[in-house]
Amino acid sequence: MAERKRWFHSLLELPVRLLVKGTPIPERPVEEHLLDPEKPIVYLLKDDSHTDKVALARRCKALGLPDPFEPLQIDGREQSRVISVEKASRWLNSDDAGLPFRTQVLGILEAHRRSDELDVQIVPTGVYWGRAPGKEKPSLLAGLGDKSSPNWFRKMMLVLLLGRDSFIRFSKPVSLRQMADDFGINDRTAHRIVRVARVHFYRQRLMVTGPRLADRQAMFEQIVATPAMRKAIAEEVQAKSKSEEDARAEAIKYLDEIAANYSSNMIRVVDRIMTWLWNRIYRGIKVSNAEQVRSLAQSGHELVYVPCHRSHMDYLLLSYVLYYEGLVPPHIAAGVNLNFWPAGPLFRRGGAFFMRRSFRGNKLYSAVFREYLALLFQKGYSVEYFTEGGRSRTGRLLPPKTGMLAMTVQTLLRGGCDRPITLVPVYLGYEHVMEIGTYMKELKGKRKEKESAWQVLSAVRKLRNFGLGYVNFGKPISLTNFMNDKAPEWRDSINELEVQKPSWLTPTVNQLSQQVMREINNAGALNPINLCALSLLCAEQRSLSRKALEAQIALYLELIRQVPYHSQTTVPEEDAKALVSHAIELDKFSVVEDGIGEIISLEGKNAVLMTYYRNNIIHMFALPSLIASCVLRHRQLSEESLYRTVSEIYPMLKAELFMDWDEEGLKQQFAGQLNALENLGLITRKGELLQVPEHRSSKRNQLILLANIIQETLQRYTITLAQLTHNPGLERGQLESSSQKIAERLASLHGISAPEFFDKKVFSIFISSLREGGYMDEAEGPAKIKSLHQTISMLLATEVHQTIDEAVA
């Protein structure tokens, strides 16, 4: 038998080397799963397949893991390093598999009885050939790879057709020592491991391929037959005097407009294209916190990805990353503006489903879309949608649109999903956004161009090196836990037949949307471009010597390392010098040698463009910047007075920048930031008073640059507050318009390049914050407005304050 296995191994090695890629998931399993190389490792496979073992052996060698064909010595006895749950289907389905799985596990467990120091690590390892989920009613041809334990002929065809699309998924190791200690060394424990292993591999396959695909037309018929759709069709008949047949046909027409037509073959083609594309335009993609998402998928959660929206690249980037993390690409809610030929049909086969910008006035369309989304959840497809609604033109997170979140909550109220629904916030960042030039034109008043094939071809033609892309998964939000906390009575509203709109739905969904946006910002990524932009845009003439720029970035890195913004935030490992060099290579900054050293600056259009990247991370430095502003303007003040000022302004910053700290969290962050600024020499103490470093000190200059980060935000606040102080009865619409006009004047007079400085939406957020904080109350409002105005205006430069006063008077 051993001779036969060695012969078979040798026979398979050459074709596997030539035909099989075997992408590992995760990329570095030893580090990510904390595998201990000093302890024995046994691989647990689903199938006793020679081909799988040979593919695994090649990948293990590259990863520094033990060879699965190398026998394991345990207590002086030779033990196979691979055990399999299922017997092999070999040579015309003959049964010549080795010992049953449970017997092998029990043998290794018994070895732990003989040695107290022994701790075998069992690593569940899935080998997947392709990612086709199969169909609910498979065709004869589709059935080729649609069997979980294929015989030798099927396996040969899978290797030939899908060898380049194979994945090897290493799961977290199971300690047999712990199993022995917890459950005993007996047949029941071995049986328990067998049962858990079968469930594990079932869930893992579902995680990798997704559920079986329904026939599209059969799915349409299933949707229009639901009680909610029958009711919606009846209402359409009554309201518009249509026949039931016509209303039903219109519902199916809407479904055809909306529904995805997912194809695993298209995903394979897109994988090839995207691999070429990323290699052409990006230097790489950095992915963080993915393991928590894989763990949720493995546990059977219904995943709803809610990323920020920077670019049309977002759709492709997230799906590409998920694909290589061993997760099935999600069904993606896309604007109907993207449903143009030829992109629309391609997107649809890649998992996109299309939605109109507004459902208002069309109850039938609204019902159809809601039922389609509920069916996706019911069948177990992961879903992706952008809560901002559209792409951010300024680099800031946009105020969330709550429609999709409301429908997700309503699915929970329908009891339409048996699995726990979990929202996964995702921060997407780029060192270059493809549409950045177009965004700036739109912010200056140019009308948004309609998407078209020519626009896509024009963008592709201009592709070049865009640096790095960043995909950071934020802290998942369990929908059930959130509802239990915010609306404990939600279970009373569960109704399988009716779409529920209880009184608590809107405020709860609003809170949920805010939490999603905060978690996206919590998972932000610092990178060379946004750090350079943050530094240079705060400098006079937007220029710094290279030495000063490196020192300022080093300061920001040290601040964020000493006082992390959040555990999900990522910080570059490189030092400031390397980050500046990387940023210069991307050709976004002007570099001039003047005989003393290099001067790095932002000129003309680039200064405007860089505000986009600065805005990606401004929330991370808003608090230390506010502290710096207070100390600089007051020259010296007590810590108590400083905190009082910060806590008065913070609620406005929290609403605008989607910051996450409550009152207690703010106190901790304030104390940490203040301590860090003292450690770094930017703030000193004289008795109980805080003060700034001496004049002409490099530390003082660094403090000024830090303070300037938040200055434009404080200027906008002062514009609105000054008007309310002079005219408390000003209506909201008029207040927003006049604030915008004054901001445009201030920008012209003081060289402010940020387009969002006079964005009416940003003023609207601030006014909403004032209303929520009681500043617009008729009784106490005027006094509170006056106090806040005095507090913030004290932090502005005299000339800026004078410009605002002249405009308001």
- pLDDT tens across 305-336, in order? 999 999 988 988 999 999 989 899 999 999 88
pLDDT value of residue 528: 97
| CB distance 742 to 761 below 8 Å | no
d(CA 28, CA 121): 17
Architecture of the domain defined by 262-431+439-522: 3-Layer(aba) Sandwich (3.40)
Q: Quick check: 807 pLDDT over 60?
A: yes
Digit-coded pLDDT (tens) for 245-260? 999 999 999 999 999 9
Percent residues over pLDDT 90 in the chain: 56
Q: How confident is the model at residue 95 (pLDDT cuts 50, 70, 90)?
A: very low
Amino acid in position 300: G
Q: What is the mean pLDDT of residues 406-435?
A: 90
Q: What is the mean pLDDT of residues 503-514?
A: 96
**Which tokens belong to 305?**
């990805």
Q: How confident is the model at residue 663 (pLDDT cuts 50, 70, 90)?
A: very high
* pTM summary value: 0.90
Q: Quick check: 144 pLDDT over 60?
A: no
* Strands 468-473, 421-430: pairing kind: antiparallel
d(CA 325, CA 318): 10
Q: Could you tell me the CA-to-CA distances from 809 to 482, 718, 784 in Å, in that order?
A: 47, 14, 20
Q: Give DSSP secondary structure letters for 705-758.
A: HHHHTTHHHHHHHHHHHHHHHH-TT--HHHHHHHHHHHHHHHHHHHT---GGGG
pLDDT value of residue 136: 66
φ/ψ of residue 735, rounded to 5: -65, -45
Spell out the SS3 assignment of 288-328: ECHHHHHHHHHCCCEEEEEECCCCCHHHHHHHHHHHHCCCC
Q: What is the mean pLDDT of residues 577-604?
A: 92
Listed by start position, the domains of the chain span 2-209, 262-431+439-522, 528-708, 711-808
The 8 Å CB, 24+ separation contacts for 750-754 are 750/799, 750/800, 750/803, 752/712, 752/715, 753/537, 753/542, 753/607, 753/608, 753/611, 754/394, 754/537, 754/608, 754/611, 754/615, 754/712
